[in-house]
C-alpha cells in the first residue's frame, strides 16, 4: 500500500488529530461517510487496533511495508516493542526535521530532504527514512534558497515546542540530536501496544 495522497482532513475526521499529516482543523465533527453513520457505533477490538495502526501510518507518512518492518525490528530487540517502535519512527530524519520546525508537516519534511536542503554531519542526506543517532548535527545547506525556505517555516511554527532530545539554534539554522527520544516527548496521542497487537497475528 503506497503513501496516502488523498484529502487529509478526511483522515483526521476518521482517526483524530495527526500533526504530522496536516495542521488544518476540520469544521466537521462527525467521521466521513454517509452522514457519519458510524459516529456512535461501538468499535470492535480489531477496529480499535486498526485505528491506532493507521495513526502511525498517516502521522509519520510511512507505507504499510515500512511500518511492518519497523514492528519486526522492534520485536527482535530487548525492551518494550511498543516504545522501540515509536523510537524508530521518531528518530527518522523526516520526523526530526518536522519536530525542529523546519517543516510544517512530515510530508513537507520529506520534500525538503529530497531536494537536498539538509546536511547531516556536514554531508547531504536525501533519504527521509534515515535513522538519526545521538550526537549527530543537522544544518541547513549553505544556499540562500534553502535558508529562506527553512527560516520561513520556523517563523510559521515559532510556537512549536522543541522536544528535549533536540537542540535548535534558530540564528545559524543548526540543530543537534542530544539523545534518543523520550516517550513523553512524542506529540502523537497513540497506544503503541495496540499496534504491536495488531501485527502480532501477521508475524
CA distance 149 to 154: 9
- For residue 169, give the C-alpha cell: 539554534
pLDDT band for position 56 (cuts 50, 70, 90): very high
Cβ atoms of 71 and 195 within 8 Å: the answer is: yes
HSE toward the beta carbon, residue 27, CA cutoff 13 A:
0
Residue % of the chain over a pLDDT of 90: 65
- For residue 188, give the C-alpha cell: 502523537
pLDDT at position 1:
39
| Mean pLDDT in residue range 81-108 | 94
pLDDT at position 201:
78
The better pLDDT of the pair 4, 95 is held by 95
First to last CA, the chain: 18
pLDDT exceeds 80 at position 18: no
CA distance 15 to 58: 10
pLDDT at position 40:
56
| Mean pLDDT in residue range 52-63 | 92
The better pLDDT of the pair 31, 130 is held by 130
Give me the residue spans of the domains in the chain.
Answer: 8-85+187-200, 92-179
CA distance 87 to 16: 21
pLDDT band for position 175 (cuts 50, 70, 90): very high
| Mean pLDDT in residue range 91-95 | 97
CA distance 194 to 50: 8
Residue 116's region, left for phi above 0, alpha for psi from -120 to 50, else beta, is: left
Which of 101-105, 152-156, 161-165, 199-203 comes out lowest in average pLDDT?
199-203
pLDDT exceeds 70 at position 89: yes
CATH class of 8-85+187-200: mainly alpha
- For residue 14, give the C-alpha cell: 476518521
pLDDT at position 3:
60
| Mean pLDDT in residue range 177-197 | 93
Helix ranges restricted to H, 20-114: 45-60, 64-76, 81-90, 93-99, 106-114
Contacts of 37 (CB under 8 A, 6+ apart): none
Say if 8-85+187-200 and 92-179 have the same CATH topology. no
pLDDT exceeds 70 at position 189: yes
pLDDT at position 156:
80
CATH class of 92-179: alpha beta
- CA nearest to 133, candidates 90, 103, 168: 90
Angle, alpha carbons 106-89-69 (nearest 5°): 120
- The DSSP result for 166-193, as a single string, is EEEETTTTEEEE-SSPPGGG--S---HH
pLDDT at position 19:
77
pLDDT band for position 157 (cuts 50, 70, 90): confident
Amino acid at each position: 500500500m503506497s503513501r496516502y495522497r488523498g484529502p487529509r482532513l478526511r483522515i483526521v475526521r476518521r482517526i483524530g488529530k495527526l500533526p504530522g499529516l496536516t495542521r488544518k482543523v476540520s469544521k466537521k465533527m462527525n467521521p466521513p461517510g454517509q452522514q457519519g453513520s458510524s459516529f456512535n457505533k461501538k468499535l470492535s477490538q480489531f477496529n480499535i487496533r486498526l485505528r491506532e495502526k493507521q495513526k502511525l501510518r498517516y502521522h509519520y507518512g510511512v507505507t504499510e511495508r515500512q511500518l511492518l518492518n519497523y514492528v519486526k525490528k522492534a520485536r527482535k530487540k530487548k525492551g518494550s516493542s511498543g516504545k522501540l517502535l515509536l523510537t524508530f519512527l521518531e528518530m527518522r530524519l523526516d520526523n526530526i526535521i518536522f519536530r525542529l520546525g523546519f517543516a510544517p508537516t512530515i510530508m513537507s519534511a520529506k520534500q525538503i530532504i529530497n531536494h537536498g536542503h539538509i546536511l547531516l554531519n556536514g554531508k547531504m542526506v536525501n533519504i527521509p527514512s534515515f535513522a538519526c543517532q545521538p550526537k549527530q548535527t543537522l544544518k541547513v545547506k549553505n544556499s540562500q534558497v534553502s535558508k529562506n525556505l527553512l527560516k520561513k517555516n520556523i517563523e510559521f511554527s515559532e510556537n512549536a515546542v522543541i522536544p528535549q532530545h533536540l537542540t535548535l539554534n534558530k540564528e545559524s539554522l543548526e540543530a543537534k540530536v542530544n539523545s534518543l527520544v523520550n516517550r513523553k516527548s512524542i506529540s502523537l496521542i497513540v497506544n503503541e501496544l495496540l499496534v504491536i497487537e495488531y501485527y502480532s497475528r501477521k508475524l
